[in-house]
Amino acid sequence: MNTGTGEKDREGNIHSALIAIVGRANVGKSSLLNALLGEKVSIESPVAQATRRIIRGILNEPRGQLAFLDTPGVHAAQSDLGRFMNRAARTASEGVDITLLVFDVSRPPFPEDVGWMRRLARRGDSAALVFALNKSDLGLAGAEALRRAWEAAASGAQAPTPDWVEVSARTGAGLARLRDQLFARAPVQPPYFPSDILTDHPRRLAIADVVREKLFLRLRDEMPHRVATAVEHLVETPAERRATVVIYVERASQKGIVIGHKGRLLRTVRRAAEAELKSLFGEAMALDLVVRVEPNWTKNYFFLKRIGYLT
């Protein structure tokens, strides 16, 4: 039996859950994960489709362990990369203990939100369901429509009964209640991860993502969806900590946009990324950014595998 104080029982069991964070693109899944952990493990961006692979983040508390999988937001896919991302998100939500479906409660539901509801209502496994109504700091204009959409999706199906929790990843409102709710739903079982790790996101991928996040903040229109980043060279010795990050674009004409007038955009991105890496890793890391053309990279399976977007 679990004592609720974090002590393991004789078999080593604690309150422990594998939780898939799913939902439409841009509703704040990654922001919510970072806010729940109190540490940044996943990039956030005003541009939709920021998360391109599954990121794990682990919350250890005296009362147990919550292991989260942050997934790419589901969207109407325009490319092979988009379709792979959608598939990864759907697959990640299978075989977990809890599905945490995130919505933007400040606006009425999109077709992708309703699509997730239908999928989860009909899934028929034993996973618990928690609905996070995020961006509540911007108002609750979508709350009623979301409840009605769930009633419609669940009617006639053997749907699980979800917990509904209003939260704001931005202000922190409702986060304590969401954590309580998730621990309450967590089965007593052996933990999935050791108690001293925050994420198993490889360092090279984390560095590449930080550069991409800073680029996303400064690129406009469709450009963010045309860039990928990958660490090509990494030195981490006591004397030197330096990474070469390649920024891939699809066409030669896009190179100039990323570099900016007199290299200004790239310089700003480098400085912002270096500052963030220093705060993430606690040590300075020098970055060399290189822009390279990789025609049609979003459709290139081998390329996507090589840079870690596909596993």
Q: How far apart are CA 15 and CA 266, in angstroms?
A: 46
31 binds, among ligand GTP, Mg ion, none (CB under 5 to 8 A by kind): ligand GTP
By CB under 6 A, is residue 213 in contact with ligand GTP? no
Q: Which of 20, 69, 149, 169 binds ligand GTP (CB under 6 A)?
A: 169
How distant, in Å, are the alpha carbons of 15, 36, 178, 261 from that of 189?
6, 22, 21, 56
Nearest to 158 by CA among 120, 109, 121, 111: 121
By CB under 6 A, is residue 86 in contact with ligand GTP? no
By CB under 6 A, is residue 113 in contact with ligand GTP? no
By CB under 6 A, is residue 28 in contact with ligand GTP? yes
Segment 13-32, which members bind Mg ion (CB under 5 A)? 29-30
For Cα atoms 38, 40, 41, give the angle at the middle one, nearest 5 degrees: 120
Segment 49-78, which members bind ligand GTP (CB under 6 A)? 49-51, 72-73
List, in order, residues 6 or more apart from 97 with CB less than 8 Å away: 17, 18, 19, 127, 128, 185, 186, 187
Token pair belonging to 91:
């697959």
Q: Which of 16, 26, 86, 229 binds ligand GTP (CB under 6 A)?
A: 26
- Quickly count: other Cβ atoms within 10 Å of residue 173's Cβ: 14
By CB under 6 A, is residue 170 in contact with ligand GTP? yes
Q: How far apart are CA 256 and CA 247, in angstroms?
A: 12
Q: Which of 80, 137, 232, 274 binds ligand GTP (CB under 6 A)?
A: 137
Total residues in contact with ligand GTP, by rule CB under 6 A: 23
* Interacting residues toward ligand GTP by CB under 6 A: 25-31, 44-46, 48-51, 72-73, 134-135, 137-138, 168-170
Residues that bind Mg ion in the complex, under the rule CB under 5 A: 29-30, 50-51
